[in-house]
Amino acid sequence: MTDRQIISLLKRYMDGATTVEEETALAEFFCTATDADRPDAISAADWSAYREMFCMFAPEVADKDQQDEAAAPAVQRFTLRNTLLWVASAA
């Protein structure tokens, strides 16, 4: 991706005009790019902020979060049947 494309996509992203594919391309770029890949128009502080922000949205992180949620123990909820059984046994 060229410097112009990156800057153009960043402007469109900040305006809320990007598509999902363009946002995915930005996330892939920032997660794999090094400091040497930084365009001259982006300051070092902004570069690190963009890298941190877009790497949070990376697919690996989202998949890991979904796996963590699936591994969480299920909470047993009170149902009418269970409550009536409890009341009947207490009586």
| Residue 35, pLDDT score | 87
Range of the structural domain that residue 33 is part of: 3-90
- What are residue 35's phi and psi, to 5 degrees? -65, -25
Residue 70 pLDDT > 70: no
Mean pLDDT of the chain: 81
Structural domain tally of the chain? 1
Give the whole-angstrom CA distance, residue 86 versus residue 32: 57
Residues 6+ apart with CB under 8 A from 41: 3, 7
pTM of the predicted structure, to 2 decimals: 0.59
Q: What is the mean pLDDT of residues 23-33?
A: 88
91 or 22, higher pLDDT: 22
Q: Mean pLDDT throughout 66-91?
A: 71
Q: pLDDT tens, 38-54?
A: 888 889 899 889 898 88
Residues 67 and 61 sit within 8 Å (Cβ to Cβ): no
